Structure 1
């Protein structure tokens, strides 16, 4: 059996172009949907109306940190 050992793995590629644009539109769509949820749905996911409104008001370039990795 042959084994290959990688001592210096390549760093992850940065995301460019169309992928970033599609992610930004997706994030905007999700935030708009969050803003339209009623009180019962917000209670189901465990956030308040104020938290939902604050998240929905964020600009599209203010993405969650885990998206930027």
Structure 2
């Protein structure tokens, strides 16, 4: 499970390329769900509609928290 903040996705580093791909697609699915949340639901998790749309628009390979970890 990834945790979405206003700045980046924080997720455990995958052990293999396959694991990285699976995790990337799981995060993409979470982004699609995020795009469908109501303003009230977004408020509950501390996001604005604009922040949610920015996160949801990121491509599947855009996982900076995964690629920047040592």
- TM-score w.r.t. structure 1 length? 0.70
Inter-partner Cα distance in structure 1 for 2:28 and 2:21: 11
Moved over 4 A (4+): none
Instruction: Name stretches of at least 5 consecutive residues in structure 2 with no aligned partner.
Output: 1-13
- Point out the structure with the larger strand share: 2
Inter-partner Cα distance in structure 2 for 1:18 and 1:50: 32
- Measured against aligned partners, the alpha-carbon deviations of 1:13-58 in whole angstroms (never above 9, x if no partner) come to x732320111111010000010010011000011100000000000
Q: Which has the higher contact order (CA 8 A, sep 6+)?
A: 2
Task: Confirm whether residue 33 of structure 1 aligns to residue 33 of structure 2.
Answer: yes
Provide the alpha-carbon RMSD of the alignment: 1.6
- Point out the structure with the larger helix share: 1
Inter-partner Cα distance in structure 2 for 1:29 and 1:52: 13
Number of positions where the alignment pairs a residue of Structure 1 with one of Structure 2: 55
Q: Return the index of the structure with the highest Cα Rg.
A: 1
What's the offset of the Cα at 1:64?
4.1
